């Protein structure tokens, strides 16, 4: 059994089959990228995996545990962490306070609600380590909402890392970024994969080809093909989907 595994996930919105028996797996130290045209069902799949949306059928397993019916916070505790495209950032607070709050939230029952001074140091160390990890060490005293877009995205990743995930779910981390920020985010993600499994949903093909160990192509809610970078790059069906030269096999009439 794979470390992280999605088996036969199904989600319907009325008559629309947004997720059509999707199965995929990610091993530790691996980046599995999920690509597909607009409306393919990528975000729906992220929602099914991370918890806000229950699937109609199928399973989500991480490290031997079945997470399918667990609420979101329990999945986070089980090791599944997700970036929220900046919406999880407290914009009025400093970078450091954002990180401290996140570190505290995930410090577990031993810290919990305690206001004991002894516990301040480990939290501060965690916050510092998170800032360094994503390259925000020099920006810790800035108000988060005033950071440039690329830095806010890094902070968002740092907040997800505070949970010490076994699987990190990244939903379009490069969205709205210029080439320079994209490159920095690519480097950051590359460094993270040594410590966790990563499921990356991304439109930026340059980043996907640079990072992915495996790519699955989602079309009309279904995995069209799955393979390594070379296999996907050279696949005529994938080229057809992205160049729009023809309807992919299995497209609804």
Ligand X SMILES: Nc1ncnc2c1ncn2[C@@H]1O[C@H](COP(=O)(O)OP(=O)(O)OP(=O)(O)O)[C@@H](O)[C@H]1O
List residues binding ligand X (CB under 6 A): 13, 16, 18, 36, 38-44
* Cβ closest to ligand X, residue 136 vs residue 170: 170
CB of 33 to ligand X, least distance (A): 13
Nearer to ligand X, 85 or 128 (CB): 85
* 207's tokens: 């980043």
Return residues touching Mg ion (CB under 5 A): 42-43
Q: Which CB sits closer to ligand X, 93 or 175? A: 175
Q: Whole-number minimum distance, CB 60 to ligand X, in Å?
A: 16
- Least separation in angstroms between CB 7 and ligand X: 19
Give the residue with the Cβ less far from Mg ion, 43 or 239.
43
Closest CB 252 distance from ligand X, rounded Å? 11
The residue (of 31 and 34) whose beta carbon lies closer to Mg ion is 34
Q: In angstroms, what CA-CA distances link 218 with 17, 70, 178?
A: 13, 25, 25
Residue 151 CB, shortest distance to ligand X, in Å, is: 23
Complex with ligand X: residue 107 or 205, whichever CB lies closer: 205
User: Of 143, 109, 111, 142, which Cα lies nearest the Cα of 124?
Assistant: 111
How near is the Cβ of 55 to Mg ion at its closest, in Å?
17
Contacted entry of ligand X, Mg ion, none for residue 44, CB cut-off 5 to 8 Å set by kind: ligand X
Least distance (Å) between residue 38 CB and ligand X: 4
Q: If DSSP states are collapsed to H, E and C, what string results for the chain?
A: CCCEEEEEEEEEECCEEEEEEEEEEECCCCEEEEECCCCCCHHHHHHHHHCCCCCCEEEEEECCEECCCCCHHHHHHHCEEECCCCCCCCCCCEHHHHHHHHHHHCCCCCCCCCCCHHHHHHHHHHHHHHHHHHCCHHHCCCEHHHCCHHHHHHHHHHHHHCCCCCEEEEECCCCCCCHHHHHHHHHHHHHHCCCCEEEEECCCHHHHHHHCCEEEEEECCEEEEEECHHHHHCCHHHHHHHHCCCCCCCCCC
Nearest CB to ligand X, comparing residues 42 and 153: 42
CA distances from 130 to 123, 124, 125, 135, 154 (A): 10, 10, 9, 9, 10
């Amino acid at each position: 059994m794979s470390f992280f595994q999605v088996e036969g996930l199904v989600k319907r919105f009325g008559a629309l089959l947004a997720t059509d028996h999707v199965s995929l797996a990610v091993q530790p130290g691996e980046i599995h990228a999920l690509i597909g045209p607009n409306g393919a069902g990528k975000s729906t799949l992220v929602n099914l995996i991370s918890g806000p949306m229950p699937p109609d059928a199928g399973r989500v397993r991480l490290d031997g545990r079945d997470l399918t019916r667990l609420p979101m916070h329990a999945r986070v505790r089980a090791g599944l962490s997700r970036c929220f495209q900046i919406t999880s950032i407290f914009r009025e607070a400093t970078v450091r306070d954002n990180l401290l709050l996140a570190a505290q939230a995930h410090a577990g029952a031993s810290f919990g609600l305690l206001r004991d001074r002894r516990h301040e140091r480990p939290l501060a160390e965690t916050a510092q380590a998170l800032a360094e990890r994503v390259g925000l060490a020099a920006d810790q005293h800035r108000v988060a909402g005033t950071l440039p877009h690329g830095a806010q995205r890094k902070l968002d990743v740092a907040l997800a890392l505070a949970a010490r995930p076994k699987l990190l779910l990244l939903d379009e981390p490069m969205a709205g970024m210029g080439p320079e920020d994209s490159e920095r985010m690519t480097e950051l993600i590359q460094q993270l994969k040594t410590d966790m499994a990563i499921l990356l949903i991304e439109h930026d093909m340059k980043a996907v080809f640079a990072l992915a160990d495996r790519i699955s192509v989602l079309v009309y809610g279904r995995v069209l093909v799955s393979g390594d970078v070379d296999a996907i790059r050279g696949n005529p069906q994938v080229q057809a989907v992205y160049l729009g030269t023809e309807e992919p096999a299995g497209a609804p009439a």
